[in-house]
Amino acid sequence: MGIRDEVRPDVPDAVRTCNEAGITVKMVTGDSPETAAAIARETGILTSGVVMLGSEFRSLPDEARPEAARRLEVMARSEPSDKLLLVQALQGNGEVVAVTGDGTNDAPALRNADVGLAMGIAGTEVAREASDIILLDDSFPTIKNAVWWGRALFENIQRFLIFQLTINISAAMLSFLAPVLGYPPPFTIIQLLWINIVMDSLAALALCSEAPHPALMLRKPIPRDAPVITPYMHRAILITAAVYVLIGMLAVVFGLPFIESPEQQATAFFAAFVVAQVWNGINCRGINGIMPPFFKGNPAFFGIMAGIVVIQILIVQYGGALFATIPLTAAQWGFIILCTAPVLLLWPIIRWSTIFLRIPGRPGS
């Protein structure tokens, strides 16, 4: 009679996805080398690497252990202390290390790893206390999903930063340059307060609600010292803000066409600035050159952006003395929307110029 501990059917796919994402999966077990190697091959962990006994790894000199850890894919007949040595050796190579464990003896490795993941069902209280994340279902694919959502969260933060900094820079420069050049301030205090509400609260809700897309797991891991604002983001922020400031100052100096009185000019400028930010919010969805379908993928995003436009129209039409606005006609609103829509072309131009001119730093890097 033979007894077989079956591998969960979803584990090989999860391991393959991790490998595609630049994550190397290593197996540390107390089983025999033959059993460990067979399971590792079945799951896709063991490819061309090394199967090593825990005693062999333990006996290596400190200076040789990092290289052995790099080549090692399976460690058999290991002790809990071997897992800690492996973590330290990989960290010595500059790697970001995540460790899974369920026993009390795994606590040192869980505590010393960059990310410790304890089993929520089979794990001991000591292991859970030593970990950073608890897997409620004790499932390896859950780790893959955690990485996927973590990368999506990082990208959403980048989206929000681009959106926020673009508004900050352009609004600050317009508010500074107009009075310096002898023109009235383009925004009132109340208008700036509304712009900040758009920039902070509503934009955060819209842009941080983007769900992860499959391409996230086809990229290399983000280095621990990588800046949040990448070179590509620097260019996108500065170029977009510069275009806003240039066009805004032209509107301040020469006025907007088809707008009659000075009061309407000021109102139209305020309306156009906010509508332009809505278009820019759509641009920010394509931070890495992956633009989700225009009306698909995130209904919450378009619902919030549509809400911003509706509130902006209500402010302009009925804000009166509080917002220093006067009503605009439907034709004037149409002109504002059409004139600000070319903002959607800014990011494709920046993206393709980056590729064509071979400027270092691809989108999202």
CB 82 within 8 A of CB 57: yes
Q: What are phi and psi of 150, to 5 degrees?
A: -65, -40
pLDDT tens-digit readout, 147-157: 999 999 999 99
CB atoms within 10 A of CB 98: 19
Between CA 168 and CA 162 the distance in angstroms is 10
288 φ, ψ (degrees, to nearest 5):
-110, 25
Give the model's pLDDT for residue 292. Answer: 46
Residue 100, token pair as written in the block: 């899974």
| Exposure string for 208-226, b = 16+ CB within 10 A, e = fewer | bebebbeebbeeeebeeee
Structure-block tokens of residue 340: 């600000």
Residue type, 52: M
Structure tokens at 364: 């999202």
SS3 302: helix
Per-residue pLDDT of the chain (365 residues; tens, 9 = 90+): 666 667 888 899 999 999 999 999 999 999 999 999 999 999 999 988 789 999 999 999 999 999 999 999 999 999 888 999 999 999 999 899 999 998 899 999 999 999 999 998 988 999 999 999 999 998 989 999 999 999 999 999 998 999 999 999 999 999 999 999 999 999 999 999 999 888 778 888 888 888 888 888 988 888 888 888 888 888 889 999 999 999 999 998 888 877 778 888 999 999 999 999 999 988 888 766 545 445 566 888 889 989 999 999 999 999 888 999 999 999 999 999 999 999 888 877 877 776 665 555 544 44
> Per residue in 185-199, pLDDT tens?
999 999 999 998 887
According to DSSP, the residues that pair with 99 across neighbouring strands are 116
Domains of the chain: residue spans and CATH:
11-143 (3.40.50.1000), 151-356 (1.20.1110.10)
pLDDT of residue 293: 46
The whole-number pLDDT of residue 202 equals 86
pLDDT at 364: 46
pTM of the full structure:
0.84
Strands 50-53 and 72-76: parallel
pLDDT at 243: 92
